[in-house]
Amino acid sequence: MNVVSRGIKNALRSPLRSGAIVLMLAVSIGLILSMLVARSGIDAQIKKDQAGTGITIRPAGIMDFSGGGTPLTSTQLATITKTDHIASTSATLSDQLGTTDTNLTSAIDFGSFGLRQQRFDSSSSTATSTSMTTPNTSPADSSTTRSARTPHITVSGTTDPNSISTDGSKLNITKGATIDGNSSDLIALVGSDLATKNSLSVGSTFTAYGSTITVKGIYNTGNKAQDSGIIMPLTTVQSLTSQTGSITSVNATVDSSSNVNSVVSALKTSLGSTADITSQAEQAATSVASLKSIASLALAGVIGATIAGAVIVLLAMIMVVRERRREIGVIKAIGGSSRKVIGQFVAEALTLTVIGSIIGLALGVAISGPMTTSLVSSSTSSSVTSTNGRPFGGPGGMFQGGFNQVNKNLTAVQSTLTPTIFVSAVGITLLIAIVGAAVPAWFISKIRPAEVLRTE
Amino acid sequence: MLVVKDLTKSFSSASGNVTALDKVNLTVQTGEFASIIGKSGSGKSTLLSMLGALDIPTSGSIEVDGVDIAKLSAAKQTAYRAKKIGFVFQHYNLIPNLTALENVMLALEFGGMPSKKRKARATQLLTDVGLEADEQLRKPPRLSGGQQQRVSIARALANHPAIILADEPTGNLDSETGKKIFDLLHRLSRSEKTTILAVTHDMDIAGKTDRTFKLKDGKITV
Ligand SMILES: Nc1ncnc2c1ncn2[C@@H]1O[C@H](COP(=O)(O)OP(=O)(O)OP(=O)(O)O)[C@@H](O)[C@H]1O
Ligand SMILES: [Mg+2]
């Protein structure tokens, strides 16, 4: 028997109370650990987001198929490509196929949102569908066909099919093979939803702009609007729509993330007011901002749980010391020093904390993953769904990608338990035990041994 | 030898100052068995707590074998309590979650005995006070009052103290058991040459001791 073993023995003296204390401690330590994990995961993601090197250049005033303006020209594309620090570029011309342009049926229903947007269609869709079709412009026609109209099918002519994918990674081809964006053949990649709706497979043909086009592959992005579209080589779309040289968006990659700002300002000077320029880092700012607020929420969680844990141990030990006043007096009366009594109570507090932290750390390891996910999704779902809530719209390259980027960035937060996090969690736990035992220790030193002679 | 000179202790409470001990003078020879009697509130417990260095006197001196314990440092007082004094209380005051054996070993630990020797010594002490082997391994709540008081006497004797201070050691026991406990204390003081100061209300018991001090309102009257 020594101070430590007496302390451990005392910790188990009233199993019910000790159990309750251990449980409360375990919960707060579990919270501390999972919050630390969430925080470091989020911090890592913020760093990654801020390191984006993509830039999107689109004609001033055009946003997918709304707004108006003049497409970019091949001269402007050349200017962009020649700008310092730009590593690569891909150009896209987006267009929409109306019911009279193709034998395909759209895979998307209007829904109430789509129908509402249609009320502008008779006057505005022609502005974006440039050279296209006349029937829609006739007032008589529009009034009779309005309710029967189906959504347009989005066509993206691009030099790089991969640029259509939502997050800048390679386009996911599920069947067949990708196409060469620099070709001028009548070939296409078809989104999986559109393919299903029209029973298209690799080698099938369909009609668009009066030409017969061969399906080379089927792609799937998981995004319904994208998967209801068609991707063709840029030159093919430009000639089919009689828009030679026209481009509705350019995706450029900067050689390093530190040059993004200087490239953006260089492009703003060279392209002037004819183009709108957005960088990936800028777009990531939305997600970075919300990630940052989640990170500070997690930090507040760590601090709160630490305080809660310390208060639990503190109150428990104060309670125990008050209860054992007389016993402490006895120990002092028979020659035990204050130091020994304090040592014994510290050992008791440590025992409770150690048991609590073993359970708590195990709990933390188990819940840190789901905790990170739910922290991230619950505090961002409102903003993400509102931006993502457009039922259809062209895969306008980076811009559409931008919204998905926000979504992706948030869900990409990785929760990994590193040794550093584990050590800091253990450190915090020790801090809890020390704070929780320090105040009772002071009480103990104040108990007079003469207390023992008082009859209760 | 224990020499107490002009020992005064006053407490300040809400209703003003209480003088629990008022210029007490007494001398007890080594090996003597002395009893202290007096009405409730006369200052008996206060006197014992001064002698046992559980509290600090307001004025006066307590000399044990020529050393004034009131002037010792806190650490020295702790050592004095551990090695020179043995306490026996009316309410036994054993540590409830330690066995009888562990309670005695605790005192041996504070007395500085190496851990390996403690168990044998504690077992010997408990056997001397008449505790059976299985009783020695029980925790206090599972022992009778008389048995608990035997354990506390064993604990008090553990470090060969110079003085045993007993505050109504038989106060919670029936008169027969009380006599046995008293006889035990008496016998031990003879064999170990331990000075004993015992507070009692039992005039029978007081009559058998070597000397009796009577306290009244904090003053020695006999
Ligand atoms: N800590 C204290 N604070 C204030 N007054 C105290 C304190 N301890 C003792 N007293 C007072 O000192 C006086 C003597 O008390 P003490 O406990 O020594 O009496 P006692 O002779 O042991 O009585 P009893 O036979 O009832 O045990 C009493 O008036 C008591 O109220
Ligand atoms: Mg008393």
CA B92 to ligand 2 center in whole angstroms: 14
ipTM over 0.85: yes
pLDDT in tens, B6-24: 999 999 888 889 999 999 9
- The helix (H) or strand (E) run that includes residue A155 is strand A153-158
Residue A288: pLDDT above 70?
yes
Q: Within a domain: residue B214?
A: yes
* Contacting residues of A for B79, CB less than 8 Å apart: 335
Strand partners, A233: A158
pLDDT tens profile B117-140: 999 999 999 998 889 999 999 999
Pick B107's closest partner by Cβ from A327, A334, A340: A334
Is A128 within the bounds of a domain? no
Which residue ranges have their beta carbon within 6 Å of ligand 1? Answer: B 11, 13, 18, 20, 38, 40-46
- Domain hosting residue B84, numbered range: 29-57+71-220
Pairs of CB atoms within 8 A across A/B: 75
Minimum-distance CB partner of A450 among B49, B95, B107: B49
Average pLDDT on A20-38 reads 88
Sheet containing B67-68: give its strands across. B16-28, B2-13, B59-64, B67-68
pLDDT digits (tens, 9 = 90+) for B178-221: 888 888 888 877 888 899 999 998 888 888 899 999 999 999 98
Q: Is residue B12 part of a domain?
A: no
Q: What is the three-class DSSP state of B189?
A: helix
CATH code for position B100 = 3.40.50.300
Give the residue from chain A lying closest to B49, CA to CA.
Answer: A450
Query: What domain count does chain A have?
Result: 2
Gap between the Cα atoms of B186 and B180, Å rounded = 10
pLDDT tens digits, A172-195: 899 999 898 888 899 999 999 999
Q: Give the ranges where A51-110 is alpha helix by DSSP (H).
A: 74-82
Residues A63 and A162 in one domain: yes
Q: What's the pLDDT at A147?
A: 44
**Inside any domain, residue B150:** yes
Residue A186 within any structural domain of the chain: yes
Position B123, amino acid: T
Residue A388 has a pLDDT of: 33
Q: Are residues A254 and A292 in the same domain?
A: no
Residue contact A333–B107, C-beta within 8 A: no
Cα separation, A423 vs A139, in Å, equals 72
pLDDT confidence of residue A256? 81
User: How many structural domains compose chain B?
Assistant: 1
pLDDT, average across residues A449-456 = 77
State the distance from the centre of ligand 2 to the C-alpha of A452, rounded, in angstroms.
11
pLDDT for B37: 95
Residue A252 has pLDDT above 90, yes or no: no
Domain boundary residue, one of A244, A260, A280:
A280
Do A359 and A410 belong together in one domain? yes
List CB contacts (< 8 A) between B111 and chain A: 335
Q: Are residues A299 and A208 located together in one domain of the fold?
A: no
Nearest atom, ligand 1, residue B55 CA: 1
Task: Name the amino acid, one letter, at B42.
Answer: S
B106 pLDDT higher than 90: yes
| Interface residues on B facing A, Cβ-Cβ cutoff 8 A | 45, 48-49, 52, 54-55, 75, 78-79, 81-83, 85, 87, 89-91, 93-98, 102, 105-107, 109-111, 115, 155, 159, 167
Centre of ligand 2 from the C-alpha of residue B46, in Å: 7
Q: Are residues A242 and A163 in the same domain?
A: yes
Mark whether A361 and A398 lie in a shared domain: yes
A138 — pLDDT class (breaks 50, 70, 90): very low
| DSSP annotation string for A318-357 | HHHHHHTHHHHHHHHHTT--HHHHHHHHHHHHHHHHHHHH
Task: For residue A322, give its domain range.
Answer: 3-50+287-455
Q: List the residue whose alpha carbon is closest to atom 24 of ligand 1.
A: B40
* pTM assigned to the model: 0.67
Q: Is A400 a domain residue?
A: yes
Distance from CA of B191 to the nearest CA of A (A): 22
Looking at the DSSP bridge assignments, the partners of residue A163 are none
Task: For residue B90, tell me if it sits in a domain.
Answer: yes
Q: Is A134 left (phi over 0), alpha (psi -120 to 50) or beta?
A: alpha
Q: Is residue A127 part of a domain?
A: no
- Does residue B141 sit within a domain? yes
Residue ending a domain, choose from A228, A256, A280: A280
